[in-house]
Structure formats: C-alpha cells, structure tokens
Structure 1
Amino acid sequence: MVSRYSHRPEYPKQMVDHINSLMSRVPVRYPAVDIGAGTGLFTRPLARFLEPSRAVIGMEPSAEMRRAAKDHPEELENVRYIAGFAEEVGYASRSVALVAAACAAHRFDKHTFLAESHRILVPHGCLAIVEYRWGDTQNSVGDEIYSLLERLVDGYDRRAHSNSAGEYEMFDAADAISSAGLFTNVHQRIFTWTVQRQTEQVVSAAMALTPSLKAEAKIGREPFLQALGEIVARHSSSAGNVELNYVGHGTFALERASGARD
C-alpha cells in the first residue's frame, strides 16, 4: 500500500497560506503536529510554507509509512516523524500551535481526537482537517473513475469516507467540530488546483485511491487496470497527457483564547 502513496499529490501551498493567516498570533516556538501523517503528503508542505519555518512533527502509527516519509529525497530541517495516535498524542497541554489531519480524521475516534486537540493547542492555535478529491464534473476523467468505483465497490460513494471498520459513511468535519463545542471560528474553505500527468501516471494515481484496492480484489488486477486505462485514454491528448483537477476541502477552527477556555 505504501508504494501507491507515491502517486498521490501533496497538498497545495494555498492551504498552508490559509493556516498561516489563522495562526498569526501564535509564537513560532510552538510546533505544528500533522496527525496520521502517512508518507508526509501534508507534513512536507507544512514544513515548507508555515511561517516562519515553524517546527513540524509528522505523527504516524505505521512504521512503514514513517520510513517512506523519512526516505523522501527532499531534506527539510524543520520536520521530523514520530510514532503516535490521534487519540493519545502525548504532548503536554497547551504546547502545540497546529493540529492537522489530512485524509485521516474520518478514521479517528472523533470525540477523543477533538478532545486531545483541544487539550494540547495553545490559545489561538489552529485545528485543520483537510482532504482532497479529484474534480468530478460530469464526464471528466475523475467522474468516470469514481463512477467505475461506485459500480464495483459495495457501499462506496465518492462523497463518503471509510471508517476504522472499512465501511463507508458520511463525515462532516465542520459539524463534528461545532458539535464538540471546544473551538471557535469553525469554517470551511475549498481549494482547487490542476496538474498535467501522463496517461500511465493517471492510471497509477487511480490505483492509489483507497477503494481501488477493493475494486482490484473484486474483479482482478488486469481487468481493473484495463478498465482504468480505457477511461484515461479517452481523456488523453495526442501527446499522451491528461489534465487532472483536484479539489481540496479544508475545515478549520481556532482554540479559544485564555480565559474563554473550558
């Protein structure tokens, strides 16, 4: 599974810029923690773009994922990876500037994760739950691939998330945060970006989607690859390139200032 992550995109600078704007009052001595960091797809953009070069911790329970993150060729002096879980972060109270979770929070115990985030964030610190999807306007490459997965994978819906049991359910991060009553300034932002990829890169990126594992298991690797290849070929230019659109969804909130905290 780790090898498939190499075909997933990193998150865009504009997401981190928004976080920077929210954390302008938080001293740089407090670190940012990316929980469920995986191979570092959000950890590295945080390390690059958080101002001014704030220390960033990628927390990930899987040793294999942590090794892949540490082996990334880009060397960033302000980032390190450690073992840890969303439900028991291990940081002291009021010691962290940012708690981030990228394509991960839907698998956490939400109540415990939000309580832990509230405990460790400094006043005015930021909670950021982010994710991305392929753009899926009608008849786009993303729409066709998601439609294929919806046909092949029982219970799968492109707007749903897999929980810790591997079942698909809707997860509204803003509603979960607001219902917890622990944070202020709960809001959402949408970020879009486009990349050009070669046909085989798009097929590999589609194989890296989590439901693709189930689709492959259901009909076999070669038939699934053929079905993906036929979709991607329809959207390829004469030079063999495909325009791939991404839509990033971010839910953000702030820790209450001192004196307003429970």
Structure 2
Amino acid sequence: MSPENYELSAKTTDHNSWKDFDGKIAENWHAMPGYPSESVQAIVAHCSHLKPAIVVDLGCGTGTFTRQLAAEFDPGCKIIGLDPNADMLKQAASLTEGDLNISYRKSAAETMPFDNGSISVLAAAGAAHRFDSLSFYPEAARVMVESGVLALLHNRPDADRGGFMSEYMEIHEHYVPEYRRDWHSTPCGGYCPLPYERDLSNQDKLEAFSIQRWSWTERVSEATLLAQALSSTVIARAVHRVGQEKVFSEVRNAFIKHADPDGYVNMPYVTEGIFATKK
C-alpha cells in the first residue's frame, strides 16, 4: 500500500493535540510496543454475539494495532484505521501490506465519518486518553450497531518489576515532574490517571463494561529502545527542556547498566482492556 493510499474524511476536526505526533515521533512510532495477542483475541471473544462486518481502530497511529486486528478477525471483516494525524497515516499506509483488508482515513474519534448504527466494533489502543470524552462516547454510541463492542486498551509500564523499566520511568519523571508512570497524556497537554472506568459508568447508551489484564515482557535492543524514546511525547518534552544529549545519555547509560550479554533489556508491561457494549 502506498503512503498516499488513505482516505481523507470530510468530517475531520482541527484536533491540535494530535500534532504532538508529527515528524520524528510518527517516523519512529512503529518501534513502540504492540499488544499481546491474547488482548486482541479477547476483543474477538467479546463479539461472539455478533458477526462483525466493520471493525474500526481509533487513533490508529502507524497501524500496529490495526494490523493485529486484521490478523485475528475473519478475513471478510473490513478493518478501518482512523487517525487525525497525517504523518501517522502515511507511516501506517507504508507499513501495511496491500493484500490486507485494511483502509485508513484521516478523522478524529469525536467526529467519525460513519452512518448511524453501522460499526460492529470500535477499538482504541493507547489512544483514547487523548479523546475528548464528552464528545467521544456519544459519538461512539451513534455509530455502533446495537450490542456493538467498544474496546479500550492501553499498555502500562510495569516498573514495579524493577530493572531497566523502573530506571527508564525515573528518567521520565525526573525531567517531566508533572508526569507519573501510571498516568497518560490528556487532550490539553497535561497528565492524569486513565479516566475510562469513570467515564463509562456515566454513559447511558453503553453498558456492561468489564476489565481484563495481561502481563507480558518485551525484549528490546538499544536501537529499538532509542526509537521508542524518539517516539515518546514525554521524552520529547524532556528533550525540549534540557536537550537531547542529556536525556539520551541517561537512557543509554541505563540500557548499558541493565543489558544482558546479548545486548537486550526486558521491558515488562501490563496491558489493560476495558470492554463495553451499546445498549
């Protein structure tokens, strides 16, 4: 699929917070960790009462999770990745094989380019904390079919398991003290705990939300780690404050300290999935 092979939605809004992902962050985003296959299979399992026709990945970025969805759902199911950032979508298109049943569109999650009651599954992996919740949840209910599934996933660095991840998170918190390792960015540029449970409990058109968690570990080389750091909006803020040389020197030193003889560090995560259905 060529970089130009994505659709531009007429319903795109000026979602300025997504400009954080322009340029080098988009170029390196493919290095960010994906999601355990069990979490994607859980989405499929939550659809056992449906025959999904269209599955949408919201805030799809470079399409990592979009491609994971395509690998688990029936080949006849149409997979659509939505993202408001053009740089991310160009990377997604270039990384996606043409024989996959995937298309990409430029659109914010709050103003989706779909008809009422037309979408079987809405998924967002590591993205929904950037959505305007007051607009997003009613919009999700609008486009979903009756009993359609909403799945919100995120990876939490499991720094409690110590080692490199703990030290890496300490670098984040040292240079960006308003950030906490269990927090995520907000649409206005701050940081806070994830609000999904609170927000879903206040929705009158969504119900029966449940939570599942999966612990896993990614083994990362120095090159992959540095690409991940270049794709981190928190690290980008640290670099803006004290300079790239200082921040990346600390990241490299932490890597050297914890690397195994083969030149890898372990980065443990907990993936959390929150699932709801449309009434």
Unaligned runs of 5+ in 2: 1-24
Match of 1:193 among 202, 207, 216: 216
Q: CA deviation at 1:169?
A: 1.9
Match of 2:45 among 18, 21, 39: 21
8 Å CA contact retained: 1:203, 1:232: no
Q: CA deviation at 1:6?
A: 2.2
Match of 2:135 among 90, 109, 112: 112
> 2:37 aligned with 1:9, yes or no?
no
Instruction: Give the superposed CA RMSD.
Output: 1.6
**Equivalent position of 1:240 in the other structure:** 263
8 Å CA contact retained: 1:47, 1:53: no
Residue deviations 1:92-137, cap 9 Å, x none? 1111011111211111110211101111111221001111132212
- Structure 2 distance, partners of 1:162, 1:3, is 20
Report the 3-state secondary structure (helix = DSSP H, G, I; strand = E; otherwise coil) of the residue aligned with 1:80. Answer: strand
Q: How many residues align?
A: 255
**2:118 is aligned with what amino acid?**
S
TM-score of the pair, normalised by structure 2: 0.86
TM-score of the pair, normalised by structure 1: 0.91
Residue 203 and residue 149 in structure 1: after superposition, are their counterparts in 2 closer, same or farther (change >3 A)?
same
Match of 1:179 among 202, 217, 233: 202
8 Å CA contact retained: 1:135, 1:142: yes
Q: CA deviation at 1:191?
A: 1.6
Q: CA deviation at 1:155?
A: 0.9
8 Å CA contact retained: 1:174, 1:187: no
The equivalences for 1:74-85 within 5 A come to: 74-85=97-108
**Percentage identity across paired residues of the two chains:** 28
- Structure 2 distance, partners of 1:135, 1:75, is 36
Q: CA deviation at 1:52?
A: 5.2
Residue 20 and residue 171 in structure 1: after superposition, are their counterparts in 2 closer, same or farther (change >3 A)?
same
8 Å CA contact retained: 2:157, 2:165: yes
Report the 3-state secondary structure (helix = DSSP H, G, I; strand = E; otherwise coil) of the residue aligned with 1:81. Answer: strand
> 2:221 aligned with 1:222, yes or no?
no
> 2:151 aligned with 1:128, yes or no?
yes
Which runs of structure 1 show a deviation greater than 3 angstroms over 4 or more consecutive aligned residues? 73-76
Residue 164 and residue 172 in structure 1: after superposition, are their counterparts in 2 closer, same or farther (change >3 A)?
closer
